[in-house]
Amino acid sequence: MRALTEEETQTLFSKLANYTGRSLNNLIQPPSDSSKEGERYVFRLHDSRVYYMKLSIANLATSISRENLLSLGTCLGKFTKTGKFRLHITALDIIAPHARYKVWIKPNGEMPFLYGGNIVKAHIGRWSEDCPEHQGVVVFSMDDKPLGFGVTARSTAETRRLDPTSITVFRQADVGEYLREEDTLFTTT
Amino acid sequence: MPVSPKFASTAIPSGPNLNLGRERMAPTRTVRSKFAASKSEKSNGSKKSSLGSSGIKKSKPSKGAKAPPPKQQKTRPTARPTKRKRRVYTEKELGLPKLNTITPVGVDLPKGKKKGKIFVDDQESMMTILAIVNANKEGQIESKMMKSRQMEEIREARRKEAEVRQEQRHSKLEERKDSIRRKRNMKTEKNVTSEPLENKERRPQASKSGKKRVSFA
């Protein structure tokens, strides 16, 4: 377990910034400005996975050997061998409150999305205005529960002219993965 | 193969020749310091003992004869100070670029740079990186929005143009239709006005002539 390098931090932040706005600052500097050193949040890399946790927990984890340490804090995602960063569904709870663009899907569209499908226009209940294409969005149910995240296929202006069956959001991760990827989601090898 | 006595006899004269060579080399040995000379003597002695040939004994007296002039040895090293060995630099020390070799990226580290990773763990540096990333992202989004807006405007303009063209074509068609209708009306009106007179004159004729009809029973 170690802290991230400059390059890794930049890759991670640019990925997170795809989905979040300026409020991403709150991840590093929580608004309830606690002066205690152990209360601030840090990012740690362990087995190519990035975890987000309080500094006090990270310090405690130093007493556990690398082989024996399985996981700590919240896993945000992992670095691929080519150096790119892939967000995991476990990061949803962290990025959902800071989402820049949101899409709400109707109850009839929830199941297709949670089974790993893309979102068609007919299933969209609401969406944030002025969203460009290929922009990260966080997907919510109509009662504001975060369900996953994806990437827009078209801008909002273009989406209006689309027919109901055409894809508007490409799925990136959904909470259905907790069941579907149960055996690989938390394994470290 | 058994050595013939003739061959053996020819081999013996080579001994003195060897000795002559040693005698010639002796002055070069004396060029070095006293210490070197003594060393060479020692080594020579060992060699000779190992050789054990008949020529050894002849060389020894020659050595003894050469030993007396040590004064010359002292003067000679001062005469040639320029022949000192120059320092040979290794390629690493010179730092010359290697020719015709490919150094993979990351292997050739720049000189004077610190080895290893630079970790980011303090809030300030993380905030600066985040600010840079955020600015970049916002710029990208802004440019995307601008681009999509421009594209939208262009599309709108094109659509309007196409609509106008369609309308024009439609109106042209209508006009043409009207003109044709009007023409037809004019004709019919003319016919209507001219018909009564003609009818009066032609009716009897028309009734008379009519259309020729052929009927088969």
Mean pLDDT, residues A139-160 taken together: 93
Q: What is the mean pLDDT of residues A159-172?
A: 93
pLDDT value at residue A108:
95
What are the structure tokens assigned to A181, written together? 């990827």
Q: Between chains, do A130 and B152 touch, taking CB under 8 Å as contact? A: no
Distance from CA of B146 to the nearest CA of A (A): 9
d(CA A100, CA A105): 16
pLDDT of residue B88: 85
Q: Shortest CB distance from B123 goes to which of A4, A40, A130? A: A40
**pLDDT mean values, one per 10 residues, chain B (217 residues):** 44 43 45 46 45 46 53 56 77 75 71 79 88 92 90 92 96 94 87 60 56 80
pLDDT value of residue A30? 73
ipTM of the predicted structure?
0.85
Tell me the two tokens of residue A18.
């795809």
Q: Which of B120, B122, B140, B153 to mutate to test the interface with A (most CBs of A within 10 A)?
A: B120
Max mean pLDDT range (A22-31, A132-141, B52-61): A132-141
Please tell me the distance from the alpha carbon of residue B126 to that of residue A13, in angstroms, as a whole number.
Answer: 9
A9 → closest Cβ in B129, B134, B148: B129
CB A89 within 8 A of CB A143: no
What pLDDT score does A185 carry?
A: 84
State how far the Cα of B117 lies from the Cα of A5, in Å rounded to an integer: 6
* Domain annotation for chain A: domains and CATH numbers: 2-94 (3.10.450.220), 101-179 (2.30.130.10)
Average pLDDT over residues A39-59: 91
Choose the mutation target among B117, B126, B150 for the interface with A, i.e. most A CBs under 10 Å.
Answer: B126
pLDDT for res B77? 55
Give the pLDDT score at B17.
Answer: 45
Q: How far does B135 lie from chain A, in Å, by closest CA?
A: 9
Q: Report CB contact under 8 Å: B144, A6.
A: no
Smallest Cβ–Cβ distance between B126 and the set A28, A133, A157 belongs to A28
Chain A residues close to B118, C-beta within 8 Å? 5-6
Identify the DSSP state of B184: H
8 Å CB contact of B137 and A132 = no
B 127-166 → A contacts, CB under 8 A: 127, 129-130, 132-134, 136-137, 141, 144-145, 148, 152
- pLDDT higher than threshold 70 for residue A66: yes
Give percent above pLDDT 90 in chain A. 68
Q: Which two tokens stand for residue B129?
A: 């990186």
Q: Which chain B residues have a beta carbon less than 8 Å from that of A28? A: 123, 126-127, 130
| Helix or strand (DSSP H, E) at B66 | helix B56-66
Q: What is the mean pLDDT of residues A50-61?
A: 92
| pLDDT at residue B21 in the model | 42
Residues 6+ away with beta carbon under 8 Å from A83:
A7, A11
Interface contact A14-B136, CB threshold 8 A? yes
Chain A closest-CA separation from residue B93 CA (Å): 32
Is there a contact between B120 and A6 (Cβ–Cβ < 8 Å)? Answer: yes
Least confident among A31-40, A123-132, A168-177, B143-152:
A31-40
* Per-residue pLDDT at A52 exceeds 80: yes
Give the three-class secondary structure for B201: helix
Strand A2-3 relative to strand A119-120, pairing: unpaired
| Percent over 70 (pLDDT), chain A | 95
Number of A to B CB contacts under 8 A, please give it.
59
CB A87 within 8 A of CB A67: no
